Amino acid sequence: MNSRKLLIAGAVLAAVVLAIAIVIVATNAKQEDVLLDEPLYPGLRDKLPSITKVVIADPLNTLEFGKLDEGWGLSANGDYPVVQNKVEEMMISVAQLTMIEPRTAIADNYSRIGVEGMDAEGTTSKNIQLIDAGGAVLVDLIVGNPKLSRGAGTGAQVYIRKAGDKQSWLAKGQMRINTQFRSFVDPVLFRVPETRPSNMSVDHPGDRKDVELSRARSVGNLEMTNIPENMELKSATALSPLGTAFGFCSFDDVKPVSELFLEGSEPIVTKMQTFDGLDLTLTTYDIGEKRYSLLAAEFDEGRNTAAQSRWEETDGELPENHKPRSADEVREEVDSINAKGEGWAYVIPPSKLTLFTADRDFFLKPSIPMEPAGEEGPMIPFRPDDQEPPATEADPPAVTPAATSETEYP
């Protein structure tokens, strides 16, 4: 009896094993059928030279690039030139995408892999469009979440869906779409280390209080040379931020000067001079809700020569970072600044522009006059709002007896 049961059990087990094997073989065969390695856009690589417009978008922003005679420009910013190869890299990334396997075709499941599209509420998708000179849209791709690698050698993978198609895909390749303005431009307008400025002025229109600063040596601090008699610095370090403000200046937005209506506007003019001959001028206009600054630079050879002579006289007294730049270096710096400034108006971050355009009241406060407390008393601050100076130990306040309803007798 036991032998018969064993035979039956063995036959059942063999049947189960055979069934599992059949399923595995069938599954593997199915996977081989769908594990593709085909280009998502066949022939796109050859068509890239014909593309004249690229549009990228995410939930927060959209950037459009137009092809120029040389390179690419930001269309919304008057074709402001972008960093070389940034746009081409995105186009090549699209052309290199290959389909690995199909994913969901159910719209309710798109959000799980980030391919729901730009119009979906709470979307995390990104989008890229490649358009040729005739206006034909060669690519309209929804880019979803990247797939985490499960091991070495798998390469980058990302979920994608062609706009208008229900079928989503897992694709081999990498798509980095960043719609931040600064990602595509050289954000640096100028760099002037704190050891270089010798003079600075801020001229305001009308009755605004101008600022004038200077110092004799690079090791000293900038000092305000036009402080009124009744004013003083808010603190000993009130001017310190100006010493480093020119160290790095970037921008958040840019427009062609030709697109701004400047006629009749009264700008704030900020000038900075360095010991080694750089003259930098920022001319700032209030245009609507933004403040646009024009940028220009000049070279003073005489000041550079004097700085070189003073450096030789120090004979190693100062650290190397105080060494003035050569005439050729400053000329190259001036050319670079003017190349960025010619025809363009920049929106400088408020943290910098506030310092560049500040008036005297930004750094000063009314000074407190000193009045003697008495013939032998110390000098004490006198506040004009007080009716009389406060009392000191040397001059105690007089005490008036409180009034009573009855006459007091000794």
Number of structural domains in the chain: 2
Q: Quote the crossing angle between the two packed helices 301-314 and 327-341, to the nearest 10°.
A: 140
- Do residue 234 and residue 85 come from a single domain? no
**Domain for residue 188, yes or no?**
no
Q: Which residues contact 247 (CB under 8 A, 6 or more apart)?
A: 191, 192, 193, 194
**Domain for residue 376, yes or no?**
no
Q: Are 22 and 36 a contacting pair, CB within 8 Å?
A: no
Scored b (16 or more CB within 10 A) or e, 93-128 reads bbbbbebbeebbeeeeebbebbbbbeeeeebebbbb
What's the pLDDT at 67?
96
Report how far Cα 367 is from the mean position of its chain's Cα atoms: 39
Residues linked to residue 102 through DSSP beta bridges, in sequence order: 169
- Do residue 168 and residue 207 come from a single domain? no
Nearest to 190 by CA among 324, 84, 333: 333
Distance CA 91, CA 93 (A): 5
- Do residue 258 and residue 157 come from a single domain? no
What's the pLDDT at 8?
58
Helix, coil or strand: residue 181: helix
Alpha helical stretches, state H, 167-249: 240-245
**Domain for residue 248, yes or no?**
yes
Residue keyed to tokens 């995410």: 58
- Do residue 58 and residue 125 come from a single domain? yes
Taking CB atoms within 8 Å and a gap of at least 24, the contacts of 73-76 are 74/181, 74/184, 74/185
pLDDT, tens digit only, all 410 positions of the chain: 455 555 555 555 555 555 555 544 444 444 434 557 899 999 999 999 999 999 999 999 999 999 999 999 999 999 999 998 999 999 999 999 999 999 999 999 999 999 999 999 999 999 999 999 999 999 999 999 999 766 555 689 999 999 999 999 999 999 999 999 889 999 999 999 999 999 999 999 887 789 999 998 888 889 999 999 889 999 999 998 988 899 999 999 999 999 998 887 899 999 999 999 999 999 999 988 899 999 999 999 999 999 999 999 887 788 888 999 999 999 999 999 999 999 999 999 999 999 999 999 999 999 877 666 555 555 555 555 545 545 544 444 544 444 433 333 22
- Do residue 79 and residue 161 come from a single domain? yes
- Do residue 250 and residue 142 come from a single domain? no
Structural Rg of the chain based on CA atoms: 36
Domain boundary among 155, 181, 207: 181
Domain boundary among 181, 212, 246: 181
**Domain for residue 50, yes or no?**
yes
Range of the domain at 106: 38-181
**Domain for residue 252, yes or no?**
yes
Nearest to 140 by CA among 113, 119, 112, 109: 119
- Do residue 202 and residue 131 come from a single domain? no
What's the pLDDT at 403?
42
**Domain for residue 70, yes or no?**
yes
- Do residue 140 and residue 213 come from a single domain? no
- Do residue 61 and residue 205 come from a single domain? no
**Domain for residue 352, yes or no?**
yes
What's the pLDDT at 218?
86
Domain boundary among 129, 151, 181: 181
What's the pLDDT at 264?
78
- Do residue 240 and residue 346 come from a single domain? yes
Distance CA 160, CA 169 (A): 5
Alpha helical stretches, state H, 263-300: none
- Do residue 166 and residue 203 come from a single domain? no
- Do residue 221 and residue 88 come from a single domain? no
Phi and psi dihedrals of 385, rounded to 5? -75, -20
Residue keyed to tokens 């005739």: 134
**Domain for residue 191, yes or no?**
no
Q: Are 330 and 196 a contacting pair, CB within 8 Å?
A: no
Helix, coil or strand: residue 87: helix
